[in-house]
Structure 1
């Protein structure tokens, strides 16, 4: 999909998130495109289960509202702790790692005290604050503040990653119910994640079972691009959904 279309769909999603329901003609006027272009964009978002088109209007589907990261930390907290515990095996002493701003990745942060001489790179303000008193080397990207994600985004954040080679990168997701890979609600986060994916030797997705029933606006990777998925116990249908991931680890079990 062309970047221009993705940016427009991001704006469309933001407008509907704020308004709940809007006329297609009003959306077209605000984004300065034709009604037909808006209908095509809405079709993309509808196929992902994010919006619904009805008689010249579009409305947000409430179960997919983009929640601030500080509101998501307590959701499925035990699952996130178990996932983080299994993720620690991918962190070696002296390695260079990336931490996403996702709430499941944040559960990994306190466990890093058990490791030595890490270089930790992140665009997450929450992770940076939690790590600020550790002995690890902490590098926070520059960029524009995203208040919902409590993260730094934009071209400055992307460019700040270019000097680095990453041993492991840990990603979160807003779900993948309607896609073949993890998603995010933020287009700016897509750009950062793409840069991290290019620079990481190991790319690990941390996602509890609830992510099989939800989706964000933008898919930032195919399952086949990941090195591993660490999740909760999977049903046969869920395992089939993520079969493209080379290694699947179910936290709370002995299966790898």
Structure 2
């Protein structure tokens, strides 16, 4: 019994870390049968700790909000590929807003290689990374929200009301069942809605696993978003559905 409980705990850790897992990989990792893994996934799904998918499982973003330090380790290769694509859309001398999100953080890390940009953000790790760059970097003040490593509140909103930028980049926890990008935080949704409103163009950065996840609060309608940058292994049905409302931009991700 103790061995089974420990295995299920480690399976959940794998799901939270990677965002998605397969029965095949878990079977090899824990040296047990496919049937044993399926029983484990059924048990965890019944406890609402993950969501079963075809051939595996994905993390249940709706039931728990993972801290930023854990989120940034999920699907890291996918996020880095999306960040590279987003970087290619930023012209020299542009003014940009970076919202919250671990994929946005990956973009911030690449912006160290650029210069002469005006970068505005509420994401604390992004500011820490960008302080060594040759860009003008502005941090939006406000009340600290540790879960997302960002700030929010009236100070943040008042600062956003005084600016207009060329492009904003916003993360999302999922789209399933909504008419736009979502976040688990009501306060984050208010801030990111304003970021989009005060931008000439706005892009949602989200890896392809987010299309089968859902969160709590809708940030805005797809009609207010310039495009979604995601992985090129996105299922065709999602591309067709989303393309009716906004532009879908695929990266060059290669699943090794």
Query: Normalized against structure 1, the TM-score is what?
Result: 0.73
Gaps of 5+ in 1: 1-58
- Structure 2 match to 1:92: 91
- Structure 2 match to 1:82: 81
Distance 1:60 1:180, change over 3 A: farther
Q: 3-state SS of the aligned residue for 2:116?
A: coil
Q: Alignment length, in residue pairs? A: 195
- Structure 1 match to 2:225: 226
Deviation at 1:113, TM superposition (A): 2.7
- Structure 1 match to 2:241: 241
CA distance in 1, matches of 2:68, 2:118: 24
Which deviations, in whole Å up to 9, do the C-alpha atoms of 1:32-85 show, x marking residues without a partner? xxxxxxxxxxxxxxxxxxxxxxxxxxx994322111111011111111111111
- Structure 1 match to 2:145: 146
Deviation at 1:162, TM superposition (A): 1.7
Counterparts of 1:157-176 in structure 2, within 5 Å, are: 157-176=156-175
Q: Is the 8 A contact 2:112 2:129 kept in 1?
A: no
Which deviations, in whole Å up to 9, do the C-alpha atoms of 1:87-125 show, x marking residues without a partner? 012212211100012001111112113322111100000
Deviation at 1:245, TM superposition (A): 4.1
Q: Is the 8 A contact 1:224 1:244 kept in 2?
A: no
Q: Is the 8 A contact 2:142 2:154 kept in 1?
A: yes
- Structure 1 match to 2:207: 208
CA distance in 2, matches of 1:132, 1:241: 40
- Structure 1 match to 2:109: 110
Which deviations, in whole Å up to 9, do the C-alpha atoms of 1:124-153 show, x marking residues without a partner? 001011111112111111111001000001
CA distance in 2, matches of 1:246, 1:174: 18
- Structure 1 match to 2:15: none
Q: 3-state SS of the aligned residue for 1:229?
A: strand
Gaps of 5+ in 2: 1-45, 50-59
CA distance in 2, matches of 1:170, 1:244: 21
CA distance in 2, matches of 1:183, 1:60: 23
Q: Is the 8 A contact 1:227 1:245 kept in 2?
A: no
CA distance in 1, matches of 2:244, 2:194: 21
CA distance in 1, matches of 2:84, 2:95: 18
Distance 1:92 1:150, change over 3 A: same
- Structure 2 match to 1:251: 251
Which deviations, in whole Å up to 9, do the C-alpha atoms of 1:175-228 show, x marking residues without a partner? 011111100011111111121111101101110011011111101111221111
CA distance in 2, matches of 1:81, 1:160: 29
Q: Is the 8 A contact 2:175 2:182 kept in 1?
A: yes
- Structure 1 match to 2:72: 73
Q: 3-state SS of the aligned residue for 1:136?
A: strand
